[in-house]
A and B are shown apart, each in its own frame.
Chain A
Amino acid sequence: MKDIRNFCVIAHIDHGKSTLSDRLLEETKTISERDMKAQTLDDMDLERERGITIKSHAIQLYYDHSDGQRYTYNLIDTPGHVDFSYEVSRSIAACEGALLLVDASQGIQAQTISNLYLAMEHDLEIIPILNKVDMESAMIDEVSDQIIDLIGCDVEDIIHASGKTGVGVVDILEAIAHRIPAPSGDPEAPLQALIFDSMFNQFRGVIAYFRIMNGTIKKGDKVRFVNTGGEYVADEIGVLQLEQIPKPVLYAGNVGYIITGIKDSKEVKVGDTITLKDNPCSVGIQGFEDVKPMVFAGIYPIDNDDFEDLRDSLEKLQLNDASLVFEPETSVALGFGFRCGFLGMLHLEIIQERLSREFNQEVITTVPNVSYVAYTKREGSKIINTPTDLPDLSVLDRVEEPYIRAQIISKPEYIGQIMTLCMDKRGTLTNQTYLTTERVELTFEMPLAEIVFDFYDRLKSISRGYASFDYYPIKYQASDLVKLDIKLNGESVDALSSLVHRTKAESFGRQICKRLKQLLPRQQFMIAIQAAIGAKIIARETISALRKDVTAKCYGGDITRKRKLLEKQKKGKKKMRQIGSVQVPQKAFLEVLKLDGS
């Protein structure tokens, strides 16, 4: 056990985590340069494109240290976005150390800090690394000061590195064995293994990744998952190199995978504890949570005939993304579809994009909302995941909405605008700390619903991209919410309904109407767009009728050209949905939320 080191990398998006990880793999000969696609750890196309790691992975490398010893390093990758903070916390719990990777030209970002705090709470040994030191814009002294302020290290503890040139890679590998403690744990104790990630393989079923805290696991053991209570046989266990390497036995301190033939990813929950059926541990590992979706939206096929195909696709996506939940629902406007729950807005966008790319499913996503709790006067509480489920006002006692704690880090000059934005979003400032003279951290409590609506984009634009942001849910709180309906030519479009705070209903309604006016193409008749609360119309826009859609000349040579042009137009119209008499483009349902000149 003393030659094992388990660690993760904490970094902000684009701070070079994947590139640096690749360098570690290269330097330890875990992977040859020739075999390597850039950024090996992110293997989904989408991740590669967006430069973010959506699902974490783990990899084992061997390092021949200058102290003469050969070490086993388990690098546990972590997802790098606010929507996945629970997964990050489980990865951190599986480690003894963390590489804190900071881009020397950009400095520390909010998300890095919240993950760093998480790592420090778990007593992880932090190795600070200043990355991209080769860049001209690197602010080595300034960013070093930020790091020192944050973790209280000495300036010489900070390793200077560049994933691009390879500078510092050996220093990092040396430091991992020196600074990060070996795992502790009792191989003789009852088995306790923390599941920190899982993936789905179409031939092998769900593969769970774990870290053994105590005990020993052998191939063929009967195991039990403490929180779900599921019992299985360890058909195969092993360690994770570039491929899975089966092993007969794994001991406390190590990181590995287990295959039990589970077909349903919902049975494997991140944070759960694996123990032995015959010799179980007395308690599961602390910190397990059943992750609940935070944001809900309807997903509908453009063509109603594709409903079953969409169900198939969602089921397949769920196999390797248990955090996606869905159930069938019907909408007056859109017909049959699914109400889906997501961890956050990014998660929603990722699912939508994967549906399009991997399954060729073009879908309509309705206005997203958070999960509310409605208390009725007689029948107690009810969870509201779609605005149309809101009970009638006559029986409604109150509605509670989820609140989050938001941490925003920015340059001091943007404090004023950020405060204005957050107050506008019904936030309350609870803390303000200067991390350095050039970086201030603001903490707000605010409704989650306000973040769903164009918060992040606005934050980025008012701070010119300098503000970074992280959040986690804290509580439910009563709110004065009303249901805002959108009508097209007098007909309510349920897919565009939303629950909004009463004080904001009017301006929100006005903005939505305005936005729809930009998004709907002109049609053969006038379109009235209205926003209403109950019977009361609070905002209105009209789109004048299309007057002319024809070309004057159509003779011999024009015919083919014109036919092809119209065929192309028809394809564009196929991506629209008929609601009552009005054609609504697929994109309108989501784009309508991008208010305020974005």
Chain B
Amino acid sequence: MTGIYVHIPFCRKACHYCNFHFSTSLSRQDDMVQAICYEIAHRKLSRYDPLISSIYFGGGTPSLLGINSLKQILEALHRRFSYDKNIEITLEANPEDLHPGYLKNLKQIGINRLSIGIQSFLQDDLIFMNRVHNVQQSHSSIQNVIDVGFKSYTIDLMFGLINRSLDDWKKNIAIAMSYRPPHISCYNLTIEEQTAFGRWKKKGQLREEKDSHQLAQYEWTVAALTSHGYHHYEISNYALDGAKAIHNANYWQGVSYIGFGPGAHSYDGRIRSWNVAHNPHYIRDVKNETIYRQSEILTDADRYNECIMLGLRTSLGIAKTTINSFPKDIQQYWKKVSKPLLQQEILLESKCNYHLDPTWWYLSDDIATRLFY
């Protein structure tokens, strides 16, 4: 099966932490939607399984699009692909957009899961992050989603913010738990270079929170959410029974995916490609396959490294069958480098897989580099 990602590259304003591709210039929305539909209809996709397990509208802010635009894209998709009967169709949405009327329409055109960018239930945090919405909208958006009858939704929260106490974070989680969302993502703030936070950090105007504080918030989150019955299945993701995100989980297991829209990435199990991350160029060039896309062929070593890097962050870990699917020299390499980690009981071996205990997920990049080929 294949996952589909559709990138909607528009935002009302730039959040201080975000380094995804977007533009705050909204004037060419219609052109963009036409270009995306054109790409969906015409791109050569012979190497992908046409049966689709998930569709994910990400951004940017997909909830900026009107219902008709979304409908057009979904229709274009449906004309080209066949859907699995349990298909998950997620729309990333900002709280300020989730009015009851809009939600009803979303439901009607086939969106069956919402990912709500709450980020925080504390007004100071929202201002610090430069979010568009306020705390009232954080609350009302979730209530509206529930009221309109979405069974599946997730909320995003962010911790590790600068100068915020563990108690502030506990408050956030407590409020979130009062809604008992089926799924919740708790992201540790990562300061990226190409963001406002990144620029301030470089100038010395902003200092990252101590890693011991960030870890304390993480550990508290893990303990609190698991005690509430959530499965901690990836470093930043928690789900109640049966509510794991199909689309995102596929990324971590090497399932192929097709990305439409500017900056979107695709992966067919061998080749990763990405569309130009520039709105006007994308719109202009989308009809010419060679110009708007770049790609790289992954070597066995690249695929092995990715499988390590991704597997170490998840409860599923690295499947033994996956390791065994690599050429002999890579398998032997794995044996050699994993040995000391197994001896130190950092890496754990079970019947079908190797995995890290969640306390080690926080150092998984460091551990991954020790296992890299």
Contacts and interface: CB of A to CB of B under 8 A. Distances in A.
Interface of A: 524, 544, 546-557, 559-560, 562-563, 566-567, 569-570, 573
B189 to A, nearest CB: 7
B313 to A, nearest CB: 7
B372 A566 contact: yes
Nearest to B189: A552
Nearest to A522: B211
B133 interface: no
Contact of B212 (A547, A563, A570): A547
Given A557-B259, A570-B372, A552 B236 contact: yes
A552 B313 CA distance: 10
Nearest to B344: A581
Given A548-B188, A566-B305, A556 B363 contact: no
A451 B235 CA distance: 53
B323 to A, nearest CB: 17
A521 to B, nearest CB: 10
Given A557-B259, A566-B309, A567-B372, A551 B365 contact: yes
B5 interface: yes
B52 interface: no
Given A554-B313, A557-B20, A559-B251, 19 more contacts: A544-B212, A547-B211, A547-B214, A548-B188, A549-B365, A550-B235, A550-B361, A550-B362, A552-B187, A552-B190, A554-B310, A556-B5, A556-B264, A557-B259, A557-B274, A560-B274, A566-B309, A566-B365, A570-B370
Contacts of B20: 557
Contacts of B369: 566-567, 569-570, 573
Nearest to B275: A557
Contact of B263 (A550, A551, A557): A557
Interface string B248-278: 1001100001010001111100001010000
B109 interface: no
A569 B372 CA distance: 10
Interface string B194-236: 0000000000000000011011001000000000000000011
Question: Could you say which of A546, A557, A562, A570 has the most chain B C-beta atoms within 10 Å of its C-beta?
Answer: A557
B305 A559 contact: no
Interface centre among B5, B251, B252 (most CB of A within 10 A): B251
Contact of B366 (A546, A553, A554, A567): A546
Contacts of B263: 557
A570 B215 CA distance: 23
Contacts of B94: none
Interface residues of B, number: 43
B129 interface: no
Given A557-B265, A573-B369, A548 B363 contact: yes
Nearest to B219: A547
Interface in B329-373: 361-366, 368-370, 372
B264 A547 contact: no
Contacts of B248: 555
Nearest to B369: A570
A36 to B, nearest CB: 46
Interface of B: 5, 20, 58, 187-190, 211-212, 214-215, 218, 235-236, 248, 251-252, 257, 259, 263-267, 272, 274, 296, 302, 305-306, 309-310, 313, 361-366, 368-370, 372
A121 to B, nearest CB: 58
Contacts of A550: 235, 313, 361-365
Given A547-B211, A549-B363, A554-B252, A559 B235 contact: no
Nearest to B302: A563
A549 B366 contact: yes
A562 B252 CA distance: 13
Nearest to B58: A555
Contacts of A567: 305, 369, 372
Contacts of A544: 212
A547 B361 contact: no
Given A548-B363, A553-B190, A573-B369, A560 B235 contact: no
A548 B257 contact: no
Contacts of A548: 188, 211, 214-215, 218, 362-363
B315 to A, nearest CB: 15
| Max count, chain A CB within 10 A of own CB: residue among B189, B215, B248, B265 | B265
Contact of A559 (B272, B361, B365): B272
Contacts of B368: 566
B236 A553 contact: yes
Contact of B259 (A546, A553, A556, A563): A556
A256 B235 CA distance: 74
Contacts of A552: 187-190, 235-236
B220 to A, nearest CB: 14
Given A566-B305, A566-B368, A556 B211 contact: no
A563 B190 contact: no
Contacts of B296: 560
27 contacts: A544-B212, A546-B363, A546-B366, A547-B215, A547-B363, A548-B211, A548-B218, A548-B362, A549-B365, A549-B366, A550-B362, A552-B235, A552-B236, A553-B236, A554-B313, A555-B248, A556-B251, A556-B267, A557-B20, A557-B265, A557-B274, A559-B309, A559-B310, A560-B296, A567-B369, A570-B372, A573-B369
A253 to B, nearest CB: 66
Contacts of B215: 547-548
8 closest A-B pairs by beta carbon, nearest first, are A547-B211, A552-B187, A549-B366, A548-B211, A570-B369, A547-B215, A557-B265, A552-B188
Contacts of B370: 570, 573
B147 to A, nearest CB: 29
B365 A560 contact: no
B222 to A, nearest CB: 13
A550 B224 CA distance: 21
A524 B366 contact: yes
B8 to A, nearest CB: 14
Contacts of A551: 190, 365
A552 B310 CA distance: 12
A31 B366 CA distance: 57
A425 to B, nearest CB: 37
A285 B15 CA distance: 81
Contacts of A569: 365, 369
A580 to B, nearest CB: 12
Nearest to A544: B212
Contacts of B58: 555
Given A547-B211, A552-B188, A553-B187, A563 B306 contact: yes
Contacts of B189: 552
A551 B191 CA distance: 9
A553 B361 CA distance: 13
Nearest to B305: A563
A82 to B, nearest CB: 41
Given A546-B363, A552-B235, A566-B369, A559 B306 contact: yes
A26 to B, nearest CB: 50
B264 A557 contact: yes
A559 B310 CA distance: 8
Nearest to B212: A547
Nearest to A549: B366
A194 to B, nearest CB: 58
- Looking at A524, A544, A556, A573, the one whose CB has the most chain B CB atoms below 10 A away is A556
Given A553-B187, A556-B267, A566-B372, A547 B305 contact: no
Contacts of A555: 58, 248, 251
A563 B369 CA distance: 9
A573 B263 CA distance: 31
A597 B272 CA distance: 48
Contact of B272 (A546, A560, A573): A560
Contacts of B252: 554
A553 B188 CA distance: 9
Contact of A549 (B218, B251, B362): B362
B6 to A, nearest CB: 11
A124 to B, nearest CB: 58
